[in-house]
Amino acid sequence: MVREILIDRYEIQQQLGKKAGRRTLLARDLVIGELVVIKLLSFGHEFEWDDLKLFGREAETLKSLSHPFIPRYLDYFEVNSPTIKGFALVQTYIPAQTLEQYLQTGRTFTEAEIKEIAKAILEILIYLHGLHPPVIHRDIKPSNILLSVDAPSAACRRHRSGNSVGEVYLVDFGSVQTVLAIESGTRTVVGTYGYMPQEQFGGRTVPASDLYSLGATLIYLVTGTHPADLPQKDFRIQFEQAANLSPSFSNWLKWMIEPSLERRLSSATKAIAVLEKPQPRNLTTLVVDKPHGSKIQLTKNGDSLEIIVPPAGFDSSIVLTGFFAIAWNSFILFWTIGALSAPFPVNIPFALFSLPFWGAGFVMVYKLLFHLFGRIDLRVNPEQIVLTSELFAWKFYRIPAWPKQSVTKLVYIPRHLTKSSNGTITSVIPAELNIWAGVKKYQLDRSAIQSEAELEWLAHELSHWLGIPITRE
Say if residues 371 and 448 touch (Cβ distance below 8 Å): yes
Give the per-residue pLDDT at 179: 47
Say if residues 207 and 125 touch (Cβ distance below 8 Å): yes
Burial 376-396, CB ≥16 within 10 A → b, else e: bbbbbbeebbbbbbbeeeeee
The bridge status of strand 440-443 relative to strand 432-437 is antiparallel
Task: Encode pLDDT of 212-269 as tens digits.
Answer: 999 999 999 999 999 999 998 877 899 988 788 998 999 999 999 998 777 788 899 9
Q: Distance between CA 315 and CA 392 in Å, rounded?
A: 20
Instruction: Identify the CA nearest to 375 among candidates 307, 314, 319, 320.
Output: 307
For the question of whether the overall pTM of this predicted structure is more than 0.85, the answer is no
Say if residues 140 and 214 touch (Cβ distance below 8 Å): yes
Say if residues 352 and 335 touch (Cβ distance below 8 Å): no
Return the CA Rg of the chain: 32
Give the per-residue pLDDT at 100: 95
Say if residues 265 and 118 touch (Cβ distance below 8 Å): no
326 membership: H or E segment, kind and range = helix 319-340
Task: Encode pLDDT of 117-156 as tens digits.
Answer: 999 999 999 999 999 888 999 899 999 999 987 645 544 4
Q: What is the pLDDT along the chain (473 residues), one digit of tens a residue?
A: 788 999 999 999 999 988 877 889 999 999 999 999 999 988 876 667 777 888 888 899 999 999 999 999 999 999 988 778 889 999 999 999 999 999 999 999 999 999 999 999 999 999 999 998 889 998 999 999 999 876 455 444 444 444 568 899 999 888 776 544 443 344 455 668 889 888 787 667 888 999 999 999 999 999 999 999 999 887 789 998 878 899 899 999 999 999 877 778 889 999 999 999 876 665 334 345 677 778 888 887 656 788 888 887 777 767 787 888 888 888 888 878 877 777 777 667 766 777 888 888 888 887 778 778 888 888 887 778 888 888 887 887 766 777 777 888 888 887 766 666 665 656 667 778 888 887 888 887 555 676 777 888 888 888 777 777 788 76
